[in-house]
Structure formats: structure tokens, C-alpha cells
A and B are shown apart, each in its own frame.
Chain A
């Protein structure tokens, strides 16, 4: 049932109206600000009202004292009686003898505190229960004049303030809710678009992309980064799939051949020499499989940047010369001629020496294997003003067709399956990974004729 009601709320879009914490925060803020201003207004209003009433009471007291001085206590008594009669609500008077006997007015219960009361809040029981601000005065013959002002005016004021506050809060709450809902709706509509894309991805549709309304606003940027991320994930996953397939294929072949060789060695009729030959063949196949594995590990390390802590500053020119020297016999045996042009001064760069050696070695190996007899193999080391180092291995052999040049940089791609005895198909992939680790690229160009491989290293 609970599940059902969840669905119901969600399906009908009610979750949009759930007050977000932002909305609650706004309401609390508005309420406390209103309460604070209410307190200020109330205090100020109370003071103003109270002081105005007191001033009036004092005026009346002074007036009645004058009457007393000029016309005597009887006139005061009749004045008080008259005032009592015509008093508006909340105005009260009393006149007592020195002994406390009431002479005039509606305040009839004498209290000793009337003498000298200066705007004092007093509770009176007679004639009816009421709370008054009391201004008292003792006349020269000892009689006590009392002028009272009810607190009712203040209570009325309080009430109107409270009503105003409630009305204001109601308006603010409705306005805040409305604004919150509109905001919520706008935000959710855009977040929903992104969430929907993420859900499609989670569901397995890797081609899903979110639409971007405006690249300049934060949502547009989130959507754009999401798309870039998805692009990369899809690329990696495709790569991963290709790699797993290729690993399966590339390890299967040497393992199958190994198994075949071992079966030959185990044949009952095999001579000692035949057995040894077969075992040696199996041994070589094992090496082949292992080399494929370590090449894959190297590529993975280079591509993820894990190898970066092995970078060190070396003379790249010397490194290349050493390698060329190492490969010279192979190139000569392939019936090729080698030309090397390296700057006389050291070319210093921060590199991963082992990986770079491997990369250049692979390029030289490729030239020796695929350029064919009679080709010229040229090796250049050049350095730009900005510190970029270009290592070029060019040959005048058959080359690689333009539309294949991107492909050969991928893992396990061999251009000519007939030459199956060749490498693991990882040679150029390692070179490309090496270039990437060094912040550069591997470019395969037409050497007209032949292939020119340029490995770029960004100086750091």
C-alpha cells in the first residue's frame, strides 16, 4: 500500500509540491523578521500611547488643582462629578477626603497608594474590577484627587497589531509558498531533464544525451559536463569491450599454439629432438602471451597517468641515439639504410624513459619489419622554441593508407592479417599511449612514399 501511495504521489507530480528545505528556510526567515519588527512596533506604539494619555492626565490634574486653589474643594468635586458623567470610556476619576471618604467620581474605593501615584498601574476592585494607570495628587487641604486611565486603549492597540501581524504572516506565507512552488517547478523541470538522461544511462542506453537550453546558466553547464562525461564513458566502454574481445582473441591464439606444441611433445612416437623443438615452441608462445599482457598493463598505466611519478629529466637526443644504435643491426639485416639527425646539443625533457624507449623501439621495429628491403629509415629529433620535442621515425616503404592511419593506433589492430606471425597489434597503441602520457600526440603522416611517425612530447 505504501508503495502504491508513493507511486501515486510521484505519478501525479505531487512531489513537486513537497516543501523543499529552501522554502521552509525562507518562511522561518520571514516569520522571525516579522516578529522582530512587531516587537519593535509594539514597544514603540505602547510608549507613545501611554505617554500621550499620561500627558492628558497630567493636564487634567493641573487644571483641577488650579480649580481647587481658585474656587475651593467643592468646585473640584463638581468638576470631577461632571467629568465622570461625560467621560468617554476608559477615563475614570475619583476625589477623596484626607480620611479616604469618596467625595466625587466613579473611583470609590480609596487606596493609600493613590497619594503620590505617578502613572502607576493599579488594580481596583470597586465599583468594578479594572486595571488603570493612575495619576494621583494630594490637594493642600489633604484631599486626594485621582485620575485613572484604563489600559483598554493599549489592549486595543495590541490587538490591532496582532491582527496586522497575522494578516502579514498569512500574506507572506502564501506569497512565499507560491514563489517556492514556481521556483521548485522551474528547477525540477530542468533537473528532471538531466535526471531522466542519467536514468536512461543507468538503464543501459549509453547513447542518451541531455538537451541543453542555455550553456551560460548553471544547469546548462551541468548538462554540458554530463554530456562530455557520457561521451568519455561511452568511449571507454567501447574501448573496454574491444579490448576484452581482443585479449580473448590474442591470448587464445598463442595459448592454442602452445597447447598444440605441448601435445606434439607428448606424442609417444616423438624423438627427443622433436620433443625439445615442440617444448621450445611452447615456451615461445608462453612468452608471446606474457608480452601481450605486459604491453596491455603498460598501456593501461600510461593512459591512466599512473606512470607519472616515474617521469624524470633526461637527454632525449642521447636516449634516441642509444636506441638507434641498439636497433641498427636489425635494420641493416632487413636490407634497409639508416639515417639519423639529432641536434648536437642535449635535448632535455621530462619524460618516462622506459616507456619512451619502448615507444621509439616499437617505431623502429615497425620500420624494420614493414618498410621492406631497400627502404631508407630516417630518425629525427627536433625541439621547438616552446619546448615541444618531436621524435620522428620515417621510412620509404609501402606506408599505411590514409584511412587506416587512425585505426593502427588502436589496440590489437594489424593492417595485414596475412602477416599474422607479427606482433601483438599493440605496438602503435603503446606509442600513442606514450605520447598521451607526455601531453603530446602520435601523428602518422604520408612520407611520400612510406610512413612518417611523429611522436610529440610537450616539455614540462
Chain B
């Protein structure tokens, strides 16, 4: 996927790390280190996504986000912060951010979230059927069928699979699942997500020649036809 991404981050190492990764992933990256410059750039030029640090010189990251939203700029914004996730995530989203990521983070996590933001921006059309290969989910009748065979899913499994289908072919991290499906904060001691995934996988892939739900080592999961 490609697109123009604005990175507003005053820490040089983090900015370089993010910009390098995004460029390698095919994005065009603009970088500014100051909140005011960020506000100017974001409101004067078209970007596909903005990565905004929470604490910036010149103007606080949340204030920039608020100002952009007040000015009618609808570009998806991912907020980065080293502050406590418990409150800051909600504050970031309240200010008008679309997603929130706590430092330190892995690039794969950031990449997955940016892709997720770009997709959300792209397809807002009302879908009633989600598909991946021979898997089909009807959102109205809440029925899931794979290769003509009906799958009997619990509501929580349905919710999880729906999230995967909406992010088909994209990397989904454990943290994203916890936050966006269950609104729960990531805790590495609990392997809850793995438990949920293995149950879903059993119903989804058992007895079919080709698995759809793939585990990506150290990163997360992906629902796709090919591994």
C-alpha cells in the first residue's frame, strides 16, 4: 500500500525509525519536529495519514489534533505517546485521534495500525457481506459459511472474525485485537488472545485443506487466502 504520511515527532531516533520503516513499506513520508509546523503542514497539504506525537515543542500534540479537527481536516491521525495508556488513549481519541499507540512500540505494530487507518478511511461503504476466499460472513443474518458449510460461532467468535474479515490480508496485532475488539488493555501475562484465536481457528480451519487464519511470529495474525 502507498500513501503520503506526515510524521510529527520531535525525538530524532523515533522519527527516523518510523520514517525509514514507512518508506520501506512504500509510503511517502514528510517529517516535522514541532507542533505548530505539524499543524501548518497538516492543514495546508493533503496527507493520507498523520502520526502525531503526544508531547511536542511549540504546541501539544492533542491541541494540534483538536485544532485540525476543528478546522475540518479529516485525515486519519495516529497518536504516539509515552504516557499512561489507561487514560491517555481515551483522551487521545476524545481529542479527535483515530488510534493511539504507546511508546515503545515495534514498527510492525505501527505499520499494521496505519494500514488499518487507511482502510477505514477508504471503505466506508455499508457492507452486508464480508468475504475471504471461500469464507463468507453475512452481517444481517449473522451467518458464517465456509465452502458451503455453515460454521457455528459464538457471539464473541463472530465479533473476532468480523474484525479479521474487515482487515483481510492485513496484519492484526494482539494489542489491536485487545483494544479494538474488547476495549481491553494489553497485558502480556495473559494469553487470552491466543486462547480466543485457537478456538476460532479450530472452527474456521479444521477440516479444510487451506488454513485462512495465519500466525505471524512476534507480530500477530493475518486472515488471508495465502500464508
Footprint of B on A, CB under 8 Å?
276, 279-280, 283-284, 287-288, 290-291, 294, 297-298, 301, 306-307, 309-310, 322-323, 325-330, 333, 353-355, 357-358, 361, 365, 422-424
Not counting A301-B86, A306-B87, A309-B87, a sample of 20 additional A-B residue pairs whose C-beta atoms are within 8 angstroms of each other reads A276-B217, A279-B218, A280-B217, A287-B188, A290-B104, A291-B186, A294-B185, A301-B84, A307-B87, A310-B87, A310-B90, A325-B155, A326-B192, A327-B192, A329-B195, A329-B196, A355-B86, A365-B189, A365-B190, A422-B189
Instruction: Look across to chain B and name the residue whose beta carbon is closest to the beta carbon of A355.
Output: B86
Our pick among A280, A288, A357 for the contact of B183 (Cβ within 8 Å) is: A357
Asked whether any CB of chain A lies closer than 8 Å to the CB of B28, the reply is no
Asked whether any CB of chain A lies closer than 8 Å to the CB of B182, the reply is yes
Asked whether any CB of chain A lies closer than 8 Å to the CB of B184, the reply is yes
B:79-97 near A, CB below 8 Å: 84-87, 89-91
Residue-wise interface mask of B (175-201) relative to A, using a CB-CB cutoff of 8 A (1 in contact, 0 not): 000000011111111111001100100
The answer to whether A307 touches B86, judged by C-beta atoms less than 8 angstroms apart, is yes
Asked whether any CB of chain A lies closer than 8 Å to the CB of B63, the reply is no
Asked whether any CB of chain A lies closer than 8 Å to the CB of B102, the reply is yes
What CA separation (Å) do A284 and B191 show in the bound complex? 12
Asked whether any CB of chain A lies closer than 8 Å to the CB of B156, the reply is yes
What CA separation (Å) do A365 and B184 show in the bound complex? 13
Interface magnitude class on chain B: 20 to 34
| Cβ–Cβ < 8 Å partners of A357 in chain B | 183-185
Tell me whether A280 and B218 are in contact in the complex, defined as CB-CB below 8 angstroms, given that A301-B87, A329-B199 are known contacts. Answer: yes
The answer to whether A326 touches B156, judged by C-beta atoms less than 8 angstroms apart, is yes
B87 → chain A closest CB, angstroms: 5
B94 → chain A closest CB, angstroms: 9
A414 → chain B closest CB, angstroms: 12
Our pick among A291, A307, A329, A354 for the contact of B192 (Cβ within 8 Å) is: A329
What are 26 A-to-B residue pairs whose CB atoms are below 8 Å? Answer: A280-B218, A283-B218, A284-B188, A291-B186, A291-B188, A294-B84, A294-B102, A294-B185, A297-B86, A298-B85, A301-B86, A301-B87, A306-B87, A310-B86, A326-B182, A326-B184, A327-B192, A329-B195, A330-B191, A353-B183, A354-B183, A354-B185, A357-B185, A361-B184, A361-B187, A424-B189
| Cβ–Cβ < 8 Å partners of A309 in chain B | 87
Residue-wise interface mask of B (133-156) relative to A, using a CB-CB cutoff of 8 A (1 in contact, 0 not): 000000000000000000000011
B38 → chain A closest CB, angstroms: 25
What CA separation (Å) do A298 and B85 show in the bound complex? 8
- Which of B85, B87, B199 has the most chain A CB atoms inside 10 A of its CB? B87
| Cβ–Cβ < 8 Å partners of A297 in chain B | 84, 86
